[in-house]
Amino acid sequence: MISKKWNLSFRLWHWLHAAVILGLLGTVFLHKTFLSWRANSEILIQKLSGFGIDITAEQAKALAKAVRAPMWEWHI
């Protein structure tokens, strides 16, 4: 049974903030794992070299950071 101790507006506020915090934590998780510039720059170097395109580590780093930039801007 739902307690009547907390009114509806407080419960909505609580769950809205919980969802926002989970969303922010999700973007940090993506930032540190799947969208890591270190890992993705290595992938870019390998894949592009397979196409006959050689790029430096700095260029790969800039590309990897550009891929994750929109997500990180949303987070901030």
CA distance 56 to 51: 15
Q: Each residue of 20-68: pLDDT tens digit?
A: 999 989 988 888 888 888 899 999 999 999 999 999 999 999 999 998 8
Judged by phi (left if over 0) then psi (alpha if -120 to 50, else beta), residue 52 lies in left
The model carries a pTM of: 0.62
13 versus 36: which is more confidently predicted? 13
64 versus 3: which is more confidently predicted? 64
* Identity of the residue numbered 67: V
What are 12's two structure tokens? 């909505």
List of residues 6+ apart from 40 with CB closer than 8 A: 64, 67, 68
Confidence of residue 75 (pLDDT cuts 50, 70, 90): confident
Judge whether 61 and 37 are in contact, CB under 8 Å.
yes
